[in-house]
Structure 1
């Protein structure tokens, strides 16, 4: 019963936050003075514009407009972009897949770096102090600074990785859902897969370094605590090596806190990715948002803001619920 109340409470909070977000966007739209009729009927007469406003209900009271606005959001109707003249949801569907793939790669790199940081620290591998120092220094720099440093070193000086874009040949974008790396893997095209992945490595690493250090510290602390447990002493007494003890017994009993933090950082990466996409000139939501801001395209800006904020809220809610299910003491 307590778990049920906990779930209902978290879902209620999720809906409340989404409603607050919709109200904020509606108020910003009112303040901005964005007029879809003026934007789409620039050469029409004032009489035609007035008729169109009446048809769209733009002269209705604010409460009625807000209720209609929420209804449109529920249907993923963000209006029409002033700049592209397309439905905003169509534009987002075009650009979102590349952003999602970049975040997924960044999360995988985060987990790999965090695991390497924690395990190398606990087992005191040779050279681990150098790796930890590099990770710590990198985590102190803003994400866009790391991106620029990566461009200068790995693209301009060493020529190891491509510096901009999502593909070497922008005209060779494969047909499909927009998930280019997924398309390459499922169609067994290693050349395309490496081309897409090589363009993601630098921006994904820039996104991953800061979260990797934070998650790695939590995992290291948990591993050190677990190593002092009675069942670990028993495993050692049976003659298992330190590596076997770590893999078979310690890691799975130490991962909960780190995984919870990973969920939270994954949500926040969808905000940081907007900046890093601009640094690397990637065709994701970051470039779409930047162009929309420059053109005062409020429907597009509001649509991207709502989608990213909703992703952040939903991921945090899911992490919260999973923590409560895993540990009923949290479900209060």
Structure 2
């Protein structure tokens, strides 16, 4: 008599005492995977730094003698064996010490603190817009709303263009021709913004400055639109397929037999059971949005990580490039881990 064994995720061996189906076990495995991915990322950045030939000492001490440069390298431990240097590099990353920018001569962390808020605000604003557009795409298709075909066709057509082209078209139509939205920057008058306000949407609401809040939103609409179209279509198509499958299930037929109208059936019984695929697609496109935002910020002259990274690449400022890469990759990894956890909460049947 033979027994059949199910495949076990390698990370599950780290926590064998917990029941397989518990949420705690699921969370611990996903968090362990998150830490593992961050370690791999740190190793990749270290190797890239080694083969790039970037020398922070030579960049800072440009006119010093070779003996002075060698002494400084020894003082900083840059002549130590590679494993020792990697452990030191990893310790710096844990403390968010990315080194000093060759270009600005500021700590990279200080620069990121300045340029990260505009980028995160844009991506989150675009993500919310993409989810709303995706929901409208899926529901209008399933319920066959009047005019829904026109909206879906327009979304299909817009998704054929890359994000930077959508941004340029948005500038031509909604800024140059119609004058509805501003063309560049975060606000109309940057000098009127208090220096400590980096998160303009949040800070303006907390301080009750609704005028600044509205101005910030107006400056976000066009770049967010350019970022949101492709994720909206991808998420919407997955959600439409999931909703269509759920509508054919037994529990939906039971709900209909009780006299519920189709919109009530979708809202009360279908949406929660249809979000898993859409959540997976959202996590995937979150990374694409952070990649696309670097180009979109250049189109709209927004002072975010895109402009900072572009200027750093032009002068081979490796500490800045590595710092931005680590921060964006960490956001992507954490975002996908959060999506996995949300899927598990939405559907307890999901296992490792």
* TM bucket normalised to smaller: over 0.9
Q: Secondary structure, in 3 states, of the residue corresponding to 1:76?
A: coil
Partner of 1:146: 166
**1:301 Cα deviation from its structure 2 partner:** 0.4
1:14-52 deviation line (CA, Å, top 9, x unaligned): 222222211221121122211111211223333332221
Query: Hey, what's the Cα distance between the residues in 2 that align with 1:119 and 1:7?
Result: 32
> Where in structure 2 are there 5+ consecutive unaligned residues?
1-18
State the superposition RMSD in angstroms.
Answer: 2.0
Query: Hey, what's the Cα distance between the residues in 1 that align with 2:300 and 2:141?
Result: 33
Partner of 2:65: 45
Q: Secondary structure, in 3 states, of the residue corresponding to 1:296?
A: coil
Query: Hey, what's the Cα distance between the residues in 2 that align with 1:265 and 1:209?
Result: 11
Does the Cα contact within 8 Å between 1:155 and 1:163 map onto a contact in 2? yes
Query: Hey, what's the Cα distance between the residues in 2 that align with 1:198 and 1:109?
Result: 14
Q: Which has the higher helix share?
A: 1
Match of 1:242 among 253, 262, 266: 262
Query: Hey, what's the Cα distance between the residues in 1 that align with 2:101 and 2:43?
Result: 20
1:176 has 2:192 as partner: no
TM-score normalized by the length of structure 1: 0.93
**1:62 Cα deviation from its structure 2 partner:** 1.5
TM-score normalized by the length of structure 2: 0.88
Q: Please, which moves more after superposition, 92-101 or 140-149?
A: 140-149
1:199 has 2:219 as partner: yes
Give the number of aligned pairs. 332
**1:196 Cα deviation from its structure 2 partner:** 0.7
1:91 has 2:87 as partner: no
Runs of 4+ in 1 over 6 A off after TM superposition: none
Q: Please, which moves more after superposition, 140-149 or 173-182?
A: 173-182
Q: Identify if the C-alpha distance between structure 1 residues 323 and 243 changes in structure 2 by more than 3 Å, giving closer, same or farther.
A: closer
Partner of 1:296: 316
1:119-168 deviation line (CA, Å, top 9, x unaligned): 11122122211111111111122111111111121112221111111111
Partner of 1:2: 20
> Where in structure 1 are there 5+ consecutive unaligned residues?
none
1:1-332 alignment, distance < 5 Å: 1-3=19-21, 6-324=26-344, 326-327=346-347, 329-332=349-352
Q: Please, which moves more after superposition, 225-234 or 94-103?
A: 225-234
Q: Please, which moves more after superposition, 110-119 or 265-274?
A: 265-274
Q: Please, which moves more after superposition, 64-73 or 236-245?
A: 236-245
